[in-house]
Structure 1
Amino acid sequence: MRNLVWGFLCFVLFYSCKKESGCGYGDHNIVAPANEQQDVETYLTSNNIYSVGKDASGLYYQVFDHGEGNSNPGLCSQVELTYTGKLTNGTVFEQKSTAFTLGSSIEGFRKGIPLIKKGGHMKLYIPPALAYGSKEIKDESGKVIIPANSILVFDISLTSFY
């Protein structure tokens, strides 16, 4: 009985320390459906885009510069980056420098950005399930800037993270 109580106390202590030190973001384990992955592959092939990596989730990417340093950002990292977001028809829907906690972003960013280090440069090809899915994204005036079920293309430079 004494060992059981001691074990329970150790568990509670470990769990509370772990909970306090984490940021609350975990892996969602989302995988894009096969038809969305095929749509991205079709886009890549029809645009003569080769040397592309593929994550198990169905995220496609190109790393142009891995960056420098010994570490990569994680879900709890505050990332500072510059990016251009486009639709597959070439329409730019967003271009900016920004900072945010990686775990609070779309799944494609959560999976892709940790592939580079500070100073790295990459392109992400994100199927809808790893972005906004069947939800339209509108600007402040109510105009749709990202149609539902869109493949997104992001050109990203990771300025810094901490």
Structure 2
Amino acid sequence: MVIITSCKKDEYDQAKQLATDEKLINEFVAANKIENVKRTDDGLYYVIIEPGTGSVVYNANTAVNVKYSGRLLNGAVFDSNTTGTTLTLGGLIYGWQLGIPLIQKGGKIRLLIPSYLGYGQNAIGSIPANSVLDFDVELVAE
């Protein structure tokens, strides 16, 4: 006799994950005394350090040259570029697509990105699944 059983994996609950991410972000902001944090309607947390100058209207095809550092909330750096790299806005994680248009050339912004605006349930390299991401981004040129 063969008995077949199935194990139901925990289903992803986006609302529950968002609540967890927002709690982590708010605790991180308070613990690190980060001032002037704003939140978009989409859930991106950001601080404009320098707005930059210009009047570029961004779209998915806009090429941007950026310097950046990406960290997990524990401070572990998972990626950085200090010389500048050109990327197409539409090819970036959604948190960047929302954040970059908030500044212009020469602008600097800090992005605190809930997991669903980053890599979501997917582990990417040294970034665990459901990770909140912390980026410092400088827009060198559009």
> TM-score band, normalised by the shorter chain?
0.7 to 0.9
Correspondence for 2:122 among 129, 135, 149 = 135
48, 51, 56: which one aligns with 2:36: 51
> In the alignment, which residue of structure 2 is the partner of 1:4?
none
Aligned partner of 1:158 among 110, 135, 139: 139
Inter-partner Cα distance in structure 2 for 1:88 and 1:36? 11
- The letter for the 2-side match of 1:108 is G
Q: Deviations over 1:7-66 (max 9, x none)?
A: xxxxxxxxxxxxxxxxxxxxxxxx983332222112111221121010111100000111
Aligned identity (percent) is 38
Determine which structure has the larger helix proportion and give its number.
1
Code of the aligned partner of 2:62? S
Separation in structure 2 between the aligned mates of residue 36 and residue 57 of structure 1, nearest angstrom: 13
Matched letter for residue 44 of structure 2: L
Cα shift at 1:102: 0.2
Tell me if the contact between 2:95 and 2:113 (Cα under 8 Å) persists in the aligned partners. Answer: yes
Structure 1 residues 36 and 127: CA distance shift in structure 2, 3 A: same
Distance apart, 1:72 and its partner CA: 4.3
1:19-98 maps to which residues of 2 (within 5 A)? 33-96=18-81, 97-98=84-85
CA contact (8 A) 1:72 1:118 kept: no
Per-residue deviation, residues 81-100 of structure 1 (Å, max 9, x unmatched): 00000111111111113211
How well do the aligned residues superpose, as a CA RMSD in angstroms?
A: 1.8
Contact 1:73–1:79, Cα closer than 8 Å, also in 2:
no
Which residue of the partner structure matches residue 28 of structure 1?
none
Which residue does 2:99 correspond to in 1?
112
Could you tell me which amino acid in structure 1 is paired with residue 131 of structure 2? S
Q: Secondary structure at 2:85's aligned position in 1?
A: strand
Residue of structure 1 equivalent to 2:113? 126
1:147 aligns with 2:134: no
Q: Structure 1-normalised TM-score?
A: 0.72
Q: Is the 8 A contact 1:68 1:118 kept in 2?
A: yes
Counting matched residue pairs gives 126
The separation in 2 between residues aligned to 1:148 and 1:35, in whole angstroms, is 13
The structural deviation recorded for 1:77 is: 0.3
Aligned-partner residue type, residue 134 of structure 2:
V
Which sections of structure 2, spanning at least 5 residues, go unmatched?
Answer: 1-14
Rg larger in 1 or in 2? 1
Q: How far has the Cα of 1:71 moved from its partner?
A: 2.2
* TM-score, with length taken from structure 2: 0.82
